[in-house]
Amino acid sequence: MQTLAQLNLPHLAVEDAAFAADPVSHFREARKTNPWIAASDIGYWVHDYQAIRDLLSQDDKFRPAYDGIVEIMGARGTPWGRFTEEQLISLPPEQHAALRTTFARKFTPRFANQLRPMMRETITRMLDEWAPRERFDFEEFAANFPITIMFTLVGAPVEEIPGIRSSLETLGLAFSMDKSRIPEIHEGYERLERLVQRIIAERRASPDKGTRGDLLDLLIETGDEGNVPERQLQDLVIFFFVAGYDTSKNVLTYTLRLLLDRPDLYERCARDHEYCRKVLDESLRLFNPGSVPRFTDQDVVYRDVLIPKDTMIWFTLNISGRDETAFEDADTFDPDREIDPATRPIPFSLGKHMCLGQHIARAQLQEALHQIAQRLHDPQLAGEYGWRPYPGAWGLKGLPIAFTPTDKTPEPA
């Protein structure tokens, strides 16, 4: 058996713009030296699909490493640092289980399905405003969708969307490990925290508290029933914003990028609501924003390699579906491909930290794609696009498109 330090591991420049533009090629090159793990300046990277599945599902051996990120960023003791170290995913196991169990019922498929009419109304309203422009940056359009949904769910004032969106853009870059961003991260976090504290306080003081039946009512009620401290309730709502913004936005943007090359599939999305789900599942295999950081909570032996306790490891959920040893024609976008349960894509992670909001995310993406495909006819790429930093919330930076607007709703297939 070898220790991790004894291995000859490839070193990846994950912070570089060139890496963010094409991480798949870099990981495939790294695989020639070691088939499942690589090194970087900010920790190790497990990039083999089976290794991710084997290791990330062992909740007893790994703990979330957000405290490590705060340490690297030199932000310990700051409001953002405190939140990052105490947010739901970072809590000790017993506290995490209690809090997650308390709120789990508000994030189920049933609850997500109940939200679909509101999601459809939101995207329709946005398309009414944006479609007549005939060209726009699709990423910017997509960014307004999840944040409007989230504002609606917690009854936040819509006039504050631009400011909070700016905060969330900044917070989405927090895990890119660029210390020069720290001042704007603090500013962005504090603006979001102030909003969340205010909407909770106002709702508690409001005569219609508990009668709206929106997510904020439900979270306050459930939190009170479970004696959840106010600070944790606030953190959960902040977490809801941070986790739900550029994840959904980046997936929707990347999905459209894929469909620009497949007008046949795009047209089918306009006709076939259920097919949109398959398109999104396949898009999530090819791309998702997340690489999740963990610390080993004990010495771990895997494939005859000893990984010492407290080693920081990133799991590349975002490119795990491009692993050619697990997926046939891994780079081919094929929504009709058969899903083998043994190699089910894992965009929402595994184990007890699996994304709580995944059912809401899936529902809103499906509703959005179906409506977009009906209203933005024959979209074409109308300029260049870039990439966001790879660690953290990875994705396209900008996606200029031109299209023919239509207000006709095709008949369902």
- Site of interaction with other proteins (CB under 8 A): 57, 59, 100, 104-105, 107-111, 113, 281, 339, 341, 344, 346, 348, 350-352, 354, 356, 358-359
Least separation in angstroms between CB 290 and other proteins:
14
Least separation in angstroms between CB 329 and other proteins:
20
Residue with Cβ nearer other proteins (78 or 358): 358
Residue with Cβ nearer other proteins (109 or 162): 109
Least separation in angstroms between CB 359 and other proteins:
7
Residue with Cβ nearer other proteins (273 or 303): 273
Residue with Cβ nearer other proteins (107 or 315): 107
Least separation in angstroms between CB 169 and other proteins:
28
Residue with Cβ nearer other proteins (62 or 138): 62
Pairing of strands 312-315, 37-40: unpaired
Q: Which of 189, 330, 173 is nearest to 250 (CA)?
A: 173
What's the rounded Cα separation, in Å, for the pair 147 and 161? 7
Residue with Cβ nearer other proteins (301 or 354): 354
Provide φ and ψ at 247, rounded to 5°: -65, -60
Least separation in angstroms between CB 394 and other proteins:
21
Which pair of tokens denotes residue 397? Answer: 């930076």
Beta-carbon contacts of 298 under 8 Å, excluding residues fewer than 6 positions away, are 61, 309
Least separation in angstroms between CB 268 and other proteins:
18
Q: Which residues pair with 37 in a beta bridge?
A: 46
3-state secondary structure the chain: CEEHHHCCCCEECCCCHHHHHCHHHHHHHHHCCCCCEEEECCEEEECCHHHHHHHHCCCCCEEECHHHHHHHCCCCCCHHHHHHHHCHHHCCHHHHHHHHHHHHHHHCHHHHHHCHHHHHHHHHHHHHHHHHHCEEEHHHHHHHHHHHHHHHHHCCCHHHHHHHHHHHHHHHCHHHCCHHHHHHHHHHHHHHHHHHHHHHHHHHHCCCCCCCCCHHHHHHHHHHHCCCCHHHHHHHHHHHHHHHCHHHHHHHHHHHHHHHCCHHHHHHHHHCHHHHHHHHHHHHHHCCCCCEEEEECCCEEECCEEECCCCEEEECHHHHCCCCCCCCCCCCCCCCCCCCHHHCCCCCCCHHHCCCCHHHHHHHHHHHHHHHHHHEEEEEECCCCEECCCCCCCCEECCEEEEEECCCCCCCC
Residue with Cβ nearer other proteins (76 or 116): 116
Least separation in angstroms between CB 335 and other proteins:
13
Least separation in angstroms between CB 207 and other proteins:
29
Residue with Cβ nearer other proteins (40 or 255): 255
Residue with Cβ nearer other proteins (193 or 367): 367
Residue with Cβ nearer other proteins (132 or 341): 341
Least separation in angstroms between CB 110 and other proteins:
4
Least separation in angstroms between CB 21 and other proteins:
30
* Amino acid found at 338: E
What's the rounded Cα separation, in Å, for the pair 175 and 87? 15
Least separation in angstroms between CB 347 and other proteins:
10
Residue with Cβ nearer other proteins (62 or 141): 62
